[in-house]
Chain A
């Protein structure tokens, strides 16, 4: 079993839709959770991060963590064509351990 599982998609939605992206993980040592957005031929760009169970909101984006279920989600409201990208979940155990473990990424296309 991989440490982090992420449905690679691809996911195609109409503009304005609510998008739900998910990752599950098996390592209970993971305490820090991130979502990166990667446009084609670009490096990953940090989108959101959260360190505790619950929801964290930033504009149209909401990151959700459920440590008891080892499940994290990213919700995108009112999706826009500019949201079309690959979304990568990442996590680390924290402390002095800076190594990130990534999911495979989900390719999202928002159609105008």
Chain B
């Protein structure tokens, strides 16, 4: 399986500040996905990050709040801006395995970043 490293694993941030989460994959992938897992809620897709183009955001998520960078085929960052307590959540990056040549399976996830906003 693809190895996905996320940093930081957790953080406590003051409201009004921003947090940037890094996701590093051990193989080149065209697409990387960012999900949010709020307490008691389903994992929800925030956006799809493609190398060399703007990220594609899902309904309810906007670039100003969740800017994404994708400088190369193994790395992406998600920034959660202007933090409020409602942003307290787990943020996860994910890659489709077939993109790195691993067939006959489904998406892999990083370990997640647990964000608490105080």
Q: Chain A: residues with CB nearer than 8 A to chain B?
A: 2, 4, 8, 32, 34, 36, 41-46, 49, 88, 90, 98-105
Told that A41-B112, A46-B107, A49-B106 touch, could you supply 13 new A-B pairs with CB distance under 8 A?
Answer: A34-B106, A43-B4, A43-B92, A43-B112, A44-B109, A88-B43, A90-B106, A98-B48, A98-B107, A99-B58, A100-B43, A103-B42, A104-B42
Whole-angstrom distance from the CB of B17 to the nearest CB of chain A? 23
Interface size on B, residues (CB 8 A): 25
Q: Is the CB of B33 within 8 A of A98?
A: yes
Whole-angstrom distance from the CB of A14 to the nearest CB of chain B? 26
Return 6 A-B CB contacts under 8 Å, by A number.
A34-B106, A42-B112, A49-B105, A98-B33, A98-B48, A104-B42
Whole-angstrom distance from the CB of A100 to the nearest CB of chain B? 6
Q: What 0/1 pattern do residues 17 to 28 of B give for CB contact below 8 A with A?
A: 000000000000
Q: What 0/1 pattern do residues 39 to 53 of B give for CB contact below 8 A with A?
A: 011111100100000
The interface residues of chain A lying within 8 Å CB-to-CB of B111 are 42-43
The interface residues of chain B lying within 8 Å CB-to-CB of A101 are 42
Contact of A102 among B4, B43, B58 (CB under 8 A): B43
Q: Chain B: residues with CB nearer than 8 A to chain A?
A: 1, 4, 6, 31, 33, 40-45, 48, 58, 92, 94, 96, 105-112, 114
Q: Is the CB of B42 within 8 A of A4?
A: yes
The interface residues of chain A lying within 8 Å CB-to-CB of B106 are 32, 34, 46, 49, 90
Across the interface, name the chain B residue whose C-beta is closest to A49: B106
Q: Is the CB of B42 within 8 A of A102?
A: yes
The interface residues of chain B lying within 8 Å CB-to-CB of A49 are 105-106
Knowing A4-B42, A105-B42, say if A98 contacts B110 (CB, 8 Å).
no
Knowing A32-B106, A49-B106, say if A44 contacts B43 (CB, 8 Å).
yes
The interface residues of chain B lying within 8 Å CB-to-CB of A32 are 106
The interface residues of chain A lying within 8 Å CB-to-CB of B41 are 104
Q: CA A77 – CA B74 in complex, angstroms?
A: 38
Q: Is the CB of A41 within 8 A of B114?
A: yes
Q: Is the CB of B45 within 8 A of A46?
A: no
